[in-house]
Amino acid sequence: MFASVRSVLRSLLDHEQIYIFQDQLRWLWIASAAGILAGTASAILLASLEWATAYREHHLWIIALLPLAGLAVGLLYRYYGHSVEAGNNLILDEIHLPKSVLKFRMTPLILLGTAMTHLFGGSAGREGTAIQTGASLADQLTLLLGLDQRDRRILLMAGLSGGFGSVFGTPLSGAFFGIEVLAIGSLGYSAIFPCFVAAFIGDFTTRAWGIHHTVFQVASVPQLSPTRFLAAAVAGIAFGLTGMVFSRLTHWIGHWAKRSIRWSPLRPFVGGILVASAVFALGTTQFIGLGIPTIVAAFLHRLPAYDFAAKLIFTAVTLGFGFKGGEVTPLFFIGATLGNALSAWIPLPTSLLAGMGFVAVFAGAANTPIASALMAMELFGAKAGTYAAIACVVSYLFSGHAGIYHAQRVGSSKHQRNHVDEGLSLARVAEQRRQGTSPILAEIDQFGLFEGSIMDHLSVLRLYFSASQVVKADKWWKRFAPQGLGTHLLQQAHAAGIEQALLQRVIGGYLKNHALLMDNGEIPQARLPQCLELVADEEKLQAFLRAHQEHLAHVRIVWLRGQEATLEAALDRDEIEQMTAIEAADEQTLQGGSSE
C-alpha cells in the first residue's frame, strides 16, 4: 500500500517541483532577512524625516543654513563616501555587472545625508534612500552566506524591492519595482519570489516599528467608457512629457554643476544658496521637503496650476547640485498637482486625475509602468487603478529613453526607430544624443562591426561541450538542482565583462568520439553539442579560462585571433548576403507568378 502511495506521489510531483521547492525555501529565509533589514532602515528613515520636517516648519530660520548643510554633506561624501556616492545607479550597475559588495557605509551616509537635506530645507524624496539602505544592507549577506554572483544579483534585487515596498507601504508595487527598474521594456523573473518576500516582509517590519503611511483617497471614480479612456490617455501624454522634462532637467543641472564647479563639496553649497534664496523670496515652504500636505490637498480641491512646475524646479536644483534623497515623492507631488491642474481641461474628476498623475509621472520618469499601476491599485483601489494604469502605460511610452536612473538600460526600445539604443544605459543614450544621432552608425565598418575596427585587437574563444554537462556544486543544497555548464559560463562571462557572448543552439552535430545527434524531438537529447562563443581581448579571455579551468576539463577550446576573426566575419557576411539575394529572387518569382 505504502509503495503504491509513493509511486502515485512521484507521478504527481515531478522532480522539477522538488528542486524549485528546495531553492525557494532557501530564498525564503534569505529574502526575509533582507526584508527585515530594509524595513527597519525604512522605519528609521521615515521617523527621522517626520522629525526633521516638524522641526524645520517650527524653526524656519534653519533654512538659511541650507548652504552650510550642503557643504557638510559634500565633504562627508568626498572624504568618506566617494565609493558609494553614485547611490542608486551604483546598485543598478552592480546588478548588471557584479564587481564588489556594496560597502556598509552607504546606509549611514545616505540616512544622514537625506535627513540633513530635509531638515535644512532641500526638496527631495525618500525612495532613493530606502533603495540604497535596502540593497546595501542586503548585500552584507553576500559574504556572510558565501553567495555567488548570480545569487548576489537576486539578493540586490530583493533589497531594492524591500526598500521600495516598505518606505511607501506598497509591497506589491515594491516587488515588481525591483524587477522592472533594471531595464526598460524587459522583465526577468529569476528573482520574482525573493523580491516578493523581501517587499512584503519589509512592509510588515516597517509597520511593526509603529510607522504609519499617509492615506490618499480618490473621492470619485466614474464608469470607464471609450471617451474617458481617451481622456486618461491624453493625461498620460502630459504626465510622460513631464517625467521626461524632470529627468532631463535634473541630469542637465548635474552635468552643468560638475563642469562649472570642480570641487564637489561646493556644488551643494551653491545649490543650497539657490534653494534657500527662492524659499525666502517666495515666502513659502510649500515646495521643499516631501510636500505631503500639498499632495493631500491635490486630492481635495483645486490648487494653483503652477504648483507642479515650482516643485519640479526646486527638486531638480536640489538633487542636481548634489543633495541626497530620492526623486519619487517629489514626482508624486508633481504628478498629483499636475493632474489637479489638468482637471480644468480634461473631463475627469479632480481627485482621480490627481491620483493618476501621482503614479503616472513616476511611471514615465522611472520607466516602471507595471510597478506604478500596481501602486495605484494598492493606494486608490482597483477602479481608480484602472484609470491610473492607462495613464502609466502612455506616460511610460511618451517619456522616451530618458529616466531618473541613468544606469538603467534599454532592454527593448519604446519605438523601432530607436532600436540602436537597446543594450545601452540611459547615460550612454543621452551622451550619444548630445553628440548627434550619427556616431553609432558611422562607426559600423564593412563587416558590420562597431568602433570602426576590424577586430585586430579582439579574439574569439569557442567552447564546445554537451548540453548535459553541469557545474560541480560548491554548496550542498545546489546538488539538488545542478546548473547547466552553458548557462553558468554565460553568466560568468557577463559578470567578468566579456565584450560579447553567445550560447548557440545547435540543430545537430557531434563532439569528438561521440555519435552524430540531431535535435528533432520535442525534448532535446542530453548529449547534443552546445557552443559558447566569447569575444574580447585575448588577455581577458585567457583570464576567463584560468578562472574557470575546473569546469573545462571535458570542453574543447578553439581560438580565433585578430585577423582570423575578421576573415570569419567577412565569410559570415558573404553568406548572409547570398541568402538575402536568394530570398529576394524567390520573392520576385512568387510575385511574378501571382500577377500572371
**3-class SS string, 472-523:** CCCCHHHHHCCCEHHHHHHHHHHHCCCCEEEEECCCEECCCCCCCEECCCCC
Burial of 22 from C-beta contacts in 10 A (0-12 / 13-18 / 19+): middle
pLDDT band at 450 (very low <50, low <70, confident <90, very high): very low
Sequence-ordered list of residues with C-beta below 8 angstroms from that of 36, at least 6 positions apart, any chain: 201, 202, 205
Question: Which is more confidently placed, 444 or 368?
Answer: 368
Under 8 Å between Cβ of 485 and 551: yes
CATH architecture of 459-561: 2-Layer Sandwich (3.30)
As annotated, the residues of the chain forming the CATH 3.30.70.120 domain(s) are 459-561
pLDDT band at 266 (very low <50, low <70, confident <90, very high): very high
Q: What is the mean pLDDT of residues 151-178?
A: 96
Residue 237 has phi, psi (to 5 degrees) of: -60, -45
Span 288-328, pLDDT tens digits? 999 999 999 999 999 999 999 999 999 999 999 999 998 99
Give pLDDT, residue 520. 54
Among 15-19, 248-252, 412-416, the minimum mean pLDDT is found in 15-19
Residue 564 has pLDDT above 60, yes or no: no
Give pLDDT, residue 198. 97
- CA angle at 299 for the pair 293 and 302, rounded to the nearest 5°: 95
Distances (CA, A) of 375 to 97, 175, 230, 242, 510: 29, 10, 22, 19, 52
Rounded CA-CA distance 533/535 in Å is: 7
Residue 573 has pLDDT above 70, yes or no: no
65: cell is 543654513
Under 8 Å between Cβ of 310 and 99: no
Rounded CA-CA distance 211/169 in Å is: 10
pLDDT band at 120 (very low <50, low <70, confident <90, very high): very high
Query: Structure pTM?
Result: 0.75
Q: What is the mean pLDDT of residues 551-567?
A: 71
Under 8 Å between Cβ of 309 and 330: no
Span 327-354, pLDDT tens digits? 999 999 999 999 999 999 999 999 999 9
Sequence-ordered list of residues with C-beta below 8 angstroms from that of 253, at least 6 positions apart, any chain: 316, 317, 320, 321
Question: Which is more confidently placed, 464 or 563?
Answer: 464
Per CATH, domain 18-208 is 1.10.3470.10: no
Under 8 Å between Cβ of 258 and 252: no
Give pLDDT, residue 522. 45
Span 502-535, pLDDT tens digits? 887 676 777 777 777 665 554 456 667 888 898 8
Rounded CA-CA distance 192/178 in Å is: 9
CA 383 to chain centre: 28
Q: What is the mean pLDDT of residues 2-9?
A: 61
Q: Which of 465, 530, 458 is nearest to 498 (CA)?
A: 458
Under 8 Å between Cβ of 414 and 426: no
> What pairing do the DSSP bridges indicate for beta strands 183-184 and 409-410?
parallel
Under 8 Å between Cβ of 410 and 185: yes
Rounded CA-CA distance 559/462 in Å is: 6
pLDDT band at 10 (very low <50, low <70, confident <90, very high): low
Burial of 482 from C-beta contacts in 10 A (0-12 / 13-18 / 19+): middle
Helix (H) or strand (E) run with residue 148 in it: none
Distances (CA, A) of 479 to 470, 472, 483: 10, 8, 9
Per CATH, domain 226-420 is 1.10.3080.10: yes
Give pLDDT, residue 568. 54
Distances (CA, A) of 358 to 51, 128, 176, 332, 410: 24, 17, 18, 4, 24
Span 211-257, pLDDT tens digits? 999 999 999 999 999 999 999 999 999 999 999 999 999 999 999 99
The proportion of the chain whose per-residue pLDDT surpasses 90, expressed as a percent, equals 59
Residue 385 has pLDDT above 90, yes or no: yes
Rounded CA-CA distance 338/331 in Å is: 10
Give pLDDT, residue 96. 85
Beta strands in 189-238 (DSSP E): none
Among 142-151, 186-195, 507-516, the minimum mean pLDDT is found in 507-516
372-380 contacts at long range (C-beta below 8 A, 24 or more positions apart): 372/173, 374/170, 374/172, 374/173, 374/176, 375/168, 375/170, 375/172, 375/173, 377/172, 378/169, 378/170, 378/171, 378/172, 378/173, 379/170, 379/216, 379/355, 380/216, 380/217, 380/218, 380/355
Residue 581 has pLDDT above 50, yes or no: yes
Mean pLDDT over each residue of the chain, to the nearest integer = 86
Residue 596 has pLDDT above 80, yes or no: no
Name the 3-class secondary structure at 530.
Answer: strand
Give pLDDT, residue 322. 94
Under 8 Å between Cβ of 502 and 533: yes
pLDDT band at 577 (very low <50, low <70, confident <90, very high): low
Give pLDDT, residue 167. 96
461: cell is 574563444
Sequence-ordered list of residues with C-beta below 8 angstroms from that of 298, at least 6 positions apart, any chain: 336, 337, 339, 340, 354
Beta strands in 252-411 (DSSP E): 409-410
Residue 65 has pLDDT above 70, yes or no: yes
Q: What is the mean pLDDT of residues 81-109?
A: 91
pLDDT band at 451 (very low <50, low <70, confident <90, very high): very low
Give pLDDT, residue 557. 85
As annotated, the residues of the chain forming the CATH 1.10.3080.10 domain(s) are 18-208, 226-420
